Amino acid sequence: MSSITPKFILRPFRESDAESIAKYANNPRIAANLTDGFPNPYGLDDAKKFLTMAIQNEPYTIFAIEINGEACGSIGIFVQSDIHRKSAECGYWLAEPYWGKGIIPEAIKQIVNYGFRTFDIVRIYARPFSFNKESQRVLEKAGFTLEATLKKACFKNGEFCDELIYSIVR
């Protein structure tokens, strides 16, 4: 197995990404690791609705993960408000054919650099479910540290699970 990460770029989304997003996001194994706001099944109308929201942000906060000319995933950085305004949440998903190839840790490093350069923040965090060991590993590879375990904080697919909080501080 090659240890070379496949080539990918982070770029702003385009309306023309709708078909590829719908194709790759329509996967229950992806939806199982995200909030219930991520539809399952995921259709073309869901992709268009997402793209309308993603494209309107300036500066950009949500980026396509492009591989071989296709939008195969998404990564975003979401600055918080009020007393949490110096923090931002990072969220991401990737098409299953590209899992385990080192793409997400590298994409996270890029979004962290972008976040600290672009926004007035000092902390970026992510909140994987306790059962999502793969996401925990990619966050650790990207330099994040486990801060907390929130017991039974989430109710996903009819079951309670713990929510973990990973962060990186400038």
List, in order, residues 6 or more apart from 57 with CB less than 8 Å away.
none
Q: What is the pLDDT of residue 6?
A: 75
CB 61 within 8 A of CB 74: no
The residue written with tokens 């966050």 in the block is: 139
Q: What is the pLDDT of residue 59?
A: 93
Write down the pTM of the prediction: 0.93
Q: What is the pLDDT of residue 57?
A: 83
pLDDT digits (tens, 9 = 90+) for 38-80: 999 999 999 999 999 999 988 999 999 999 999 999 999 999 9
User: CA 128: distance to chain centroid?
Assistant: 10
Average pLDDT over residues 105-116: 98
The tokens for 129 are: 């479910």
Picking from 84, 126, 130, 129, the residue whose alpha carbon sits closest to that of residue 108 is 126
Q: What is the pLDDT of residue 58?
A: 87
For residue 2, pLDDT over 70 is answered with no
Average pLDDT, the chain: 96
Q: What is the pLDDT of residue 3?
A: 57
Domains of the chain (ranges; CATH) run 9-169 (3.40.630.30)
For residue 19, pLDDT over 90 is answered with yes
For residue 1, pLDDT over 60 is answered with no
CB 50 within 8 A of CB 71: no
Q: What is the pLDDT of residue 44?
A: 98
pLDDT digits (tens, 9 = 90+) for 115-153: 999 999 999 999 999 999 999 999 999 999 999 999 999
Residue 61: count of CB within 10 angstroms of its CB: 19
